[in-house]
């Protein structure tokens, strides 16, 4: 089977996966433990770490909380490579004041925290809805 064309999104997904795996291993946490905390199957953690699937913003918030880091630590390596998505978000926020950035960060944190409290089925519905409206 031929490998699909490499895209910035594919690169980002693999990069995020590697950073999640590295942080998890650094903390001495198994995929099973992380999956249990997040309320998902161990296979989903494996697929995230190998770049097969990309975690949602809500999942990123859960991962960051459990791995004791910031979401940004999971999307940006120490190499200084900035992904297209992170760079785009940064450019959009450049025109905002510090107060506006703080407000948005709190809003995103509140949304992610609220979604995290939902049951898995409801969480999926809400995250899919949010993904659709923010495209």
34 closest CA partner among 56, 54, 53, 60: 60
In this prediction, residue 77 carries a pLDDT of: 53
Would 58 be classed as within a structural domain? yes
Would 71 be classed as within a structural domain? yes
Q: What is the DSSP letter of 67?
A: T
Reply yes or no on whether the pLDDT at 12 is more than 70.
yes
Please give the Cα distance from 116 to 62 (Å, whole number): 7
Return the residue matching tokens 């490499």.
6
Q: Give the CATH number for residue 64.
A: 1.10.260.40
Would 2 be classed as within a structural domain? no
How many domains does the chain fold into? 1
Please tell me which residue, 102 or 41, carries the higher pLDDT value.
41
| pTM across the whole model | 0.54
Q: Tens of pLDDT along 22-36? A: 889 988 999 999 999
Please give the Cα distance from 124 to 131 (Å, whole number): 10
Print the domain residue range for 54: 8-133
In this prediction, residue 81 carries a pLDDT of: 40
Please tell me which residue, 61 or 85, carries the higher pLDDT value.
61
């Amino acid at each position: 089977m031929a490998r699909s064309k490499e895209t910035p999104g594919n690169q980002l997904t693999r990069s995020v996966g590697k950073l999640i795996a590295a942080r998890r291993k650094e903390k001495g946490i198994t995929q099973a433990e992380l999956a249990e905390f997040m309320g998902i199957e161990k296979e989903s953690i494996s697929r995230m770490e190998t770049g097969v699937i990309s975690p949602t913003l809500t999942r990123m918030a859960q991962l960051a909380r459990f791995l004791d880091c910031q979401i940004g630590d999971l999307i940006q390596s120490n190499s200084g490579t900035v992904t297209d998505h992170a760079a785009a978000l940064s450019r959009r926020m450049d025109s905002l004041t510090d107060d506006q950035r703080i407000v948005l960060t709190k809003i995103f944190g509140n949304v992610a925290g609220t979604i995290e409290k939902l049951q898995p089925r409801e969480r999926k519905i809400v995250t899919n809805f949010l993904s659709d409206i923010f495209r």
